[in-house]
Amino acid sequence: MTALIQTIDTPDGALTILADDAQRVLASGWSDDHAAIVGRVHPSLRPAEVAEGETDAADAARAYYAGDVRAIDTVAVRQHGTGMQQTGWAALRRIAPGRPLTYAEFAIELGSPRAVRAAAAVCARNAPALFVPCHRVLRSDGTLGGFAWGLDVKRSLLEREAAFAV
């Protein structure tokens, strides 16, 4: 399989998107380091070849940054993980922009109220950042917690979504 990789400029810096031949996002993040983005893909889904090209997801990302924070909701993604991870990634996509959850609330959404660490691990192993919005999960005390692409990007995304929340 040959995947397409595209880097676009955003107010948060370079956003690189890796999509498979069916235009499903395999990984994305705020870096122009293509190897770093490809490296986030589970080995079973990692493409044999990567070529620079236009991805459908780039249009959604541009619309998101232009104020349509729901533009990312319908972008197809593909990840490999356990049943709980798949459930978690689907649950992340249901968190409304401007209404972040705490890790404890996210664990409840997963049906495992005591599995707060597992809920955090679901976020940490999320490869298609932005399109599976793990940035919408915060520590129980309301602080940002972690984010693979840096807390400045997470803060910016949350502020953008709060301003345009529907």
pLDDT tens for 67-120 read 999 999 999 999 999 998 999 999 999 999 999 999 999 999 888 899 899 999
Helix (H) or strand (E) holding 6: strand 2-10
Q: Which of 26, 130, 134, 157 is catalytic?
A: 134
Q: How far is CA 150 from CA 41, 51, 156, in A?
A: 19, 27, 10
Which residue would you say has higher pLDDT here, 20 or 163? 20
Neighbours of 42 (CB within 10 A): 15
What is the pLDDT, as a whole number, of residue 166? 54
The share of the chain scoring above pLDDT 70, in percent, equals 98
Q: Which residues contact 12 (CB under 8 A, 6 or more apart)?
A: 30, 152, 153, 156, 157
Q: How far apart are CA 53 and CA 55, in angstroms?
A: 6
Active site residue 123: no
Range 59-73 average pLDDT: 96
Secondary structure of residue 74 in the 3-state scheme: coil
The predicted structure's pLDDT at residue 146: 87
Domain range summary for the chain, segments of one domain joined by + = 2-65, 83-164
CATH topology for 83-164 is Arc Repressor Mutant, subunit A (1.10.10)
Taking residues 30-53, what's their average pLDDT? 96
SS3 98: coil
Kindly report the CA angle at 88 between 117 and 124, in degrees rounded to 5? 50
pLDDT value at position 142?
87
What percent of the chain shows pLDDT beyond 90?
A: 89
Question: What pLDDT is attached to residue 165?
Answer: 65
pLDDT for position 25: 98
Q: What is the pLDDT of residue 163?
A: 85
Is pLDDT above 60 for 50? yes
Task: Indicate if the pLDDT at residue 65 is higher than 70.
Answer: yes
pTM: 0.94
Q: Are 124 and 136 in contact (CB under 8 A)?
A: no
What pLDDT is attached to residue 46? 96
